[in-house]
Structures are given as C-alpha cells and as structure tokens.
Structure 1
Amino acid sequence: MTNDEVSIGSELYREQRTTQAAVYASDTMQFTSRLSALVGVRYTQYRQNVYDPSGAVTWQYSANPVTPTFALMFKTDPYSTVYGSYVESLEQGGAASNLNANYPATFGPLRSKQYEVGFKSDHSKWGANLALFRVDQGYNYTNTANIFVQDGTRRYTGIDASGWLALTSEWRVMGGVMWLDTKAVDIDDPSIEGKRIYGAPRFTVTGRIEYNPAYLRPLTLAFGGKYVSDQAVNASNTQFVPAYATFDLSGRYETKIAGKDVTLRAGINNLFNRRYWTTAWGYYVSPSPTRTAVARATLQF
C-alpha cells in the first residue's frame, strides 16, 4: 500500500510518500469443544520519504516491525462466547500542517496496543455484546507553543455494549452505548499530561428500530438516532465542541434483476437538519453535514 500526501501551502507539491508492504499469518487452535485460540503475526516493511518543494528528499524513515495478534475464546453455551484478545499494530505518524510553527516536520510510524475482554451471545430472537478494552497509541498533537509534536501515549479505556431484540416477526430494535475514558500519559508538557484526548467523546449512544412487513418481506424500513457527547478540540482541552444528537430514516429493498441479487437502499441522513460541530485533528473544527438524501444499489455477481 502506497500513500502520497500533497502540501496545501503556497506551492502545490508532493510532501511525503509512505509505503507499507505486509505479510500476515494466523491459525486457530481448537483445544476442546469449547476452548480455542487464535494466534497471528504480521511482518511489515514500512518506508516513508518527506520531500521539499524541489522534490528533494529531506527526511527518510524505515522500519520492519513484527506485530502479534492473540485471542483466547471459550464458548459458555452453543450461542455465547467469552473472549480475551491482544493486538499490536502500526499506523502512520503525524505531520505538522502549514499552520504549525515547525511545518513541515514529519514523524515516524506509531505502534498501538489493544487489550480487550468481552462476551458475545447471538440467539434467534436476541443478541448482546459487551466488551471492556484499553488501547495505547503514540500521541501526536499541537502544543501550546503551536508546535506539532509526537510525544507520550494516548490511552483509551472504555466499555462498549450493544444488543438487538426481535419484538415480533415484523419489528426489531437495536442499540448500543460506548463509554470512553481518554487520557494523555507520559507527556513531557505538563499542560497536556492527564488531559482528555482531542476528538474523542466520553459517551456515544445509538438506537435503531426496523420494520419488516409480513406482506412485503423484501422491504425493511428503519429509523435511528445517535447521541455524541462533547469533544475536546485541542490537546490542552481549552476548547470543546458541544454534544449533539442526529436522526436518520432509511429503507432497503431486496430483489432480483436478470437472475442476480440486487439490494436497493435509500435514506435521509440528519433528518431534522441538526447543526453541530465536529473535530478530529487537534485544533480544527468543521460544520456538520446538512440534511442529505442518499441512494445506492448493490449487485451480487
């Protein structure tokens, strides 16, 4: 996989190129009828070049990390599983924007570690999932001196719960909630240490109800909503965007055309045209998408 990034400064030029080539192997081992394990390993060749406006290479980085994956699963009954997992991965490092004092500084890749324990149960008329997790990733942010840095760890600790229930043969409800505690740790800057990670809400709540009429089984209508709590705009937590809630309306129709399975979908996102702000980049905010009508078709060959 190769990724090119273009500078948006006064001159348009290729700012950097990142290339990743990986080999992954995994195996599932069945110890008993209930106990099994998944073990995997990924070898990645990571190469990153940064260029100046003339096209000359100003900075190079290369690494060949080996990252493991491990999961242990135990079936408590034919429908339910308790599991624990550990995953390491590699992601592209950050780069200063043309608004930072140290532009165009670029940093190497970040390694992340994810720990998770959970429970899953799936029955004919209901299902439920519960997971407790912690994710540690390298942190890149703009500090109070407007310098983009890559320092310390961003830690996400959370609980994710979801479920669904068939009320009748025609009506089905589903929903989920995620609580997320985020914290910057091992940071040299005391104004950042211990603060919330920017762009991460504490709570996200989703809900959805579906109607699949008995007289027209290919058709499914749905109404759903999502609540997202406030989010920090910057690493020092001096600015926040407020919480918001949105609702969507959609429909799905399954049919056949020329003997092929076809699914037609249409819907309205942000049904009530809620205006809100979003953030993700550590001091940028953007306005919400307005009410949007969407439609698409999927053909199975």
Structure 2
Amino acid sequence: MVGSLHGGATPFDRQAETTGVGALALDYQGERFRAWLYLLAQTDRFDAPLRPFQLKAGVPVPRAPAGRLNLTQPWEYSDVDDRGGLLRTEYDLTDQLTLFADIGGSRGAVERYFQSAPTILNLRGDTTSTPQFYALGVDRLTYDGGLRVRFETGFFHHTVTLQASSYAETTGRWVSPGRGAYLSNLYAPARVAYIAPIDGAGRPRLSDSTLSGISIADTLAALDERVLLTLGVRGQRIEAHNYVSNVGTPTTAYDRSAASPVAGLVVRPWEAVSFYGNYIEGLSRGDLAPTVAKNSGEILAPSVARQVEAGVKLDLGRIGATLAAFRITRPGGELGPQNRFAATGEQRVSGLELNLFGEITPQLRVLGGMTLLDGRLVRTALAANLGHRPIGVPPVQASLGAEWDLPGLTGLTLDGAVIYTGRQFVDLANRQALPDWARLDLGLRYATAIGGRPTTFRANVLNVTGTNYWTGVASFGTFFQGAPRTYLLSMAVDL
C-alpha cells in the first residue's frame, strides 16, 4: 500500500498545489496460477498553473523571463481526479505453456479555467490571454489475453507469444467561449480582477476510439543465448469517431487496419559485448488536435510510424556504454495558417546516441550521454517548409551526472548533474527558435540509522546558477519557461 499527500506554495509566483495519491497492490502466487491486482487513485488541485506560450506569427522569440514569474492569475486553476485498476492473471497449463489474461480500466475527470497558451505579441514580452472553462471526462477500458509457449527445434530455443488485445477510450468535453481577455507582460506580470467562467450543462461526447489487434512473435535463442532473433507481426485496427464540440453530434470517422512487422537481432560474440538491431512498424491513432487549435480535441486519421535501430552495448560490470544509431519516420499533425490542426505532415529523425555509466572508483560513479539528431520535414502542407527541421527537435542533447562519496565522512554523498539542450525551432518555417540552454543541479545525500531504522536525508538545488531559459517545446509550437533555482529538502525512514 502506498499513500502520499503534499501541498503548498511552489517555486512560481502565485502558485499553489495539493496532490494526493493512494495505491494498493495485491498478488497471489500459487503452484500454477498467479494473479496481480493494482488499484490507483490520485487527485490534484492546482492554483495558477504555469501555461505554455505561443508566439504571434512573425514575432522573434523574446528572452526568457525569470523562472519564478507567473502570468497565470491566482483565480485560474486546474482540478484533476483519476481512478483506475488493473488485474493480471497467468496459468501454467504445462511447464512449457502459459495462458495469460489482463483487464483494466480508468476514469478521469478534469476541470480547468485558464488560457491554454497565452500569446506573446512582441519582443517586449507583451502577452494576451483569454481564460476558458474546460471540463473533460475520459473513460478507458483495456483487456488482452493470449499464450506463451516454449519449445526446442534443433539447437534453437523458441519462446512464442500469441496475444489479442483491445483498448477503448471515450472522451466527453465542454469548452466555454472566452468571456474576457487580459493583457500582461513576461517580465512584469499583471494582476487582473476575477473573470467569472461560463459552465455548460453536461460533458457532450467529443471523441471515441478503439484500438484492437492480434500479434504473434517468436524469439529464437541459440549458442547459449549468444544469438537472439525476434520475428513477429501485429494485425492492428483503429476505429475513431469525432463529434461536434459542445454538441455531441457525429462529424468524422476513421477505420483503418494494417499488418505491422517487427524484427530484432542480438549477437553477443563476447561476454561483455552485444551487437543489436531492430525494425518495427506500428499503426497509431492520429494525433489529438491541441487546445490552441480551432478543432481542439479532434482525433486525426491513423498513421503508420517506422523505426530502425542498430547499436552495440559494452558491460564490463563496473563500467558500461551503449552506442546506437536510429531513424524514425512518423506522420503527424500540423497547425495550419487558419489555426486548424490537420494530418498534413511527416517528419524523419535520424540520430546517434551514446550513453556511459560506471564506477570510476569505489567512491565515484558517473552516468552521462549525448544524442545527435538530424530531423527533417519530408511532407508538409507548405512546399517551402520541406527539408526544414521539425518543431522541437534540437540538433544535440547531452547530460552528465556524478556521485562522490566524500572521504572521511561515512554516509555523505555529493551528487550533481549538467543538462544541455540545443537550439529548437517552434515554427515549421524555421524562423522562430528557442536558444540552446544548460542547467546545473547539485545535491547532498546523507545515509545513517536513527533508532536502528535506515534513514536518508537529501538536500538538492535545481538550476543552481538561476539560468533563465525556454524549454518543453510541443509538436505544435508552444513552449514553457524553465523553472527557477529551487531548493529541496527531504528525509526518508525505513519503518
């Protein structure tokens, strides 16, 4: 059983949040039958939540404001409640054949009153916001079942999985018209008198979708599992329906099926070295039109994404590394000139990723990585944008973290991390870009025992240098301000 409750002011001006989580996990382990039950409930009450920004067309990105500044008014809020559960079962018919079945569901309710994305009007940082009341209800149901069988053919060991699955989601929503706009500024947020929201009756249906499929996969192992080959295929079907916002009458519908292959190979010529490669396709539900779009909440047509990856892993026990090259091709939605979100785009992202981890000395541990990305628009509604970089894809991302057990001070550990993200565009024309940024985090951890109980004290400072930066770019071009210097203190006791 897990329970947590926290609340109070946050590092951002005017902002307060109270969050509660309760979770229960039960399991049964019999000779042949096994079952797991997970129950979860969580609630969140957020006053003056930070919102992403969008840029007015043609306006360059202004400098980032101080991280603590908050344009959202104290009377703007977000309330979220979620309840869910999952039951998993397995039964061994024989030592080689296992049946499994799972069922789960959740219900979420959201009420929000704020401007989804305030608009930055000029380089001076002037903004305009129009608060809207937004009420959403989402019901989800998923179930699957299948079998796993293990057998030998010659010197190959097979693990075959056959599975059928279904996931259904229904969304109801009410969005009020804007009742009043207010002006503010990134660097000098204004306090504005309360604007009363407009609530509607009920939550008219906005969309529903069902994702179903049957898959079969075989993992072949040979040479004492030094060679692993996985081959599989999924038959997928996606049905989706959209409804008129705030009305609930049907508008558009999609029904698409596809056979999606998957293949993977791992070769381990030496104990510490593995080479791997994989290819996968997947039919996915279309993107959801963001709240800043005229057709907010509409589900776009399903699309097929493709990914190919190859790499090498080195694991020497105390030190390890991975190096991988990949390419992902994914259709997606674009926010057009008329502020309508449509499935007119496709992007291809190629990358090279290096990760390092290990124990340099018994007292010093490191974890770091770097990713180089080359993203390109290969299909777009406007021909002039072909070949441009996709929104929110930086050319480089890097991080380096370390822990050092201080000599002569038993139980005391110093830790730190540096995070870097390169320049990112927020428009398809590649004229508006967020500058690159770096952040330094530092902390201390002290492990001891109090009354025979293991106890750990932690003190952390995030964004030690107080850097002001833009971050969190969404695929449709909105972005967040980075968090300010933040101090964290905590104590954990094993009872």
Q: TM-score, normalised by structure 2?
A: 0.53
Q: 1:216 to 1:78 in 2, by over 3 A?
A: farther
Structure 2 CA distance for aligned equivalents of residues 135 and 283 of structure 1: 20
Please report the RMSD computed on the Cα atoms of aligned residues, expressed in angstroms. Answer: 3.5
1:194 matched to 2:387: yes
Q: Which moved more, 1:217-226 or 1:202-211?
A: 217-226
Structure 2 CA distance for aligned equivalents of residues 243 and 187 of structure 1: 26
Within-5 A mapping of 1:197-276: 197-212=390-405, 221-250=414-443, 267-276=460-469
The alignment partner of 1:191 has SS state of helix
Q: 1:92 to 1:219 in 2, by over 3 A?
A: farther
Within-5 A mapping of 1:31-70: 31-33=222-224, 34-52=226-244, 53-70=246-263
Structure 2 CA distance for aligned equivalents of residues 211 and 194 of structure 1: 45
Match in the other structure for 2:145: none
Structure 2 CA distance for aligned equivalents of residues 161 and 289 of structure 1: 27
For structure 2, the 5+ residue unaligned runs are 1-166, 178-198
Q: CA deviation at 1:206?
A: 0.6
Match of 2:341 among 132, 148, 155: 148
Q: CA deviation at 1:251?
A: 5.6
Contact map agreement 1:201 1:231 (CA 8 A) in 2: yes
Match in the other structure for 2:191: none
Match in the other structure for 1:87: 280
Contact map agreement 1:199 1:281 (CA 8 A) in 2: yes
Contact map agreement 1:4 1:18 (CA 8 A) in 2: no
Q: 1:29 to 1:5 in 2, by over 3 A?
A: farther
User: CA offsets, 1:168-209, max 9 Å, x none?
Assistant: 101012211110000011335212211100011100011011
Q: CA deviation at 1:277?
A: 1.1
Amino acid at match of 2:171: D
Amino acid at match of 2:364: W
The alignment partner of 1:65 has SS state of strand
Match of 1:111 among 287, 293, 304: 304
Structure 2 CA distance for aligned equivalents of residues 165 and 45 of structure 1: 44
Contact map agreement 2:207 2:298 (CA 8 A) in 1: no
The alignment partner of 1:111 has SS state of strand
User: CA offsets, 1:62-112, max 9 Å, x none?
Assistant: 334332221111112101101111011233323444654666754112221
Q: CA deviation at 1:28?
A: 1.7
Q: 1:199 to 1:298 in 2, by over 3 A?
A: farther
Within-5 A mapping of 1:141-180: 141-144=334-337, 146-180=339-373
Contact map agreement 1:8 1:98 (CA 8 A) in 2: no
Q: Which moved more, 1:106-115 or 1:189-198?
A: 106-115
For structure 1, the 5+ residue unaligned runs are none
User: CA offsets, 1:90-145, max 9 Å, x none?
Assistant: 33323444654666754112221000110001112210100011000003212345
Q: 1:121 to 1:4 in 2, by over 3 A?
A: farther
Q: 1:60 to 1:93 in 2, by over 3 A?
A: same
Contact map agreement 2:319 2:360 (CA 8 A) in 1: no
Q: Which moved more, 1:211-220 or 1:92-101?
A: 211-220
Q: Which moved more, 1:139-148 or 1:201-210?
A: 139-148
1:4 matched to 2:4: no
Who wins on radius of gyration, i.e. which is larger?
2
Size of the aligned set, in residue pairs, is 301
Structure 2 CA distance for aligned equivalents of residues 270 and 101 of structure 1: 37
Q: CA deviation at 1:238?
A: 1.6
Structure 1 CA distance for aligned equivalents of residues 217 and 264 of structure 2: 11
Q: CA deviation at 1:211?
A: 2.1
1:287 matched to 2:481: yes
Q: 1:3 to 1:243 in 2, by over 3 A?
A: farther
Q: Work out the percentage of aligned pairs sharing the same amino acid.
A: 27
Q: Which moved more, 1:132-141 or 1:94-103?
A: 94-103
Match in the other structure for 1:18: 209
Q: 1:124 to 1:101 in 2, by over 3 A?
A: closer
User: CA offsets, 1:19-58, max 9 Å, x none?
Assistant: 4345554332013343221223334442322121221221
Structure 2 CA distance for aligned equivalents of residues 48 and 174 of structure 1: 43
Q: CA deviation at 1:221?
A: 4.1
Contact map agreement 1:209 1:224 (CA 8 A) in 2: yes
Q: 1:143 to 1:269 in 2, by over 3 A?
A: same
Structure 1 CA distance for aligned equivalents of residues 342 and 251 of structure 2: 18
The alignment partner of 1:167 has SS state of strand
Q: 1:99 to 1:250 in 2, by over 3 A?
A: same
Contact map agreement 1:94 1:107 (CA 8 A) in 2: yes
Q: 1:74 to 1:98 in 2, by over 3 A?
A: closer
Q: CA deviation at 1:260?
A: 11
Q: Which moved more, 1:227-236 or 1:101-110?
A: 101-110
The alignment partner of 2:465 has SS state of coil
Amino acid at match of 1:37: L
Amino acid at match of 2:435: P
Structure 2 CA distance for aligned equivalents of residues 152 and 146 of structure 1: 15
Match in the other structure for 2:218: 27
Amino acid at match of 2:266: M
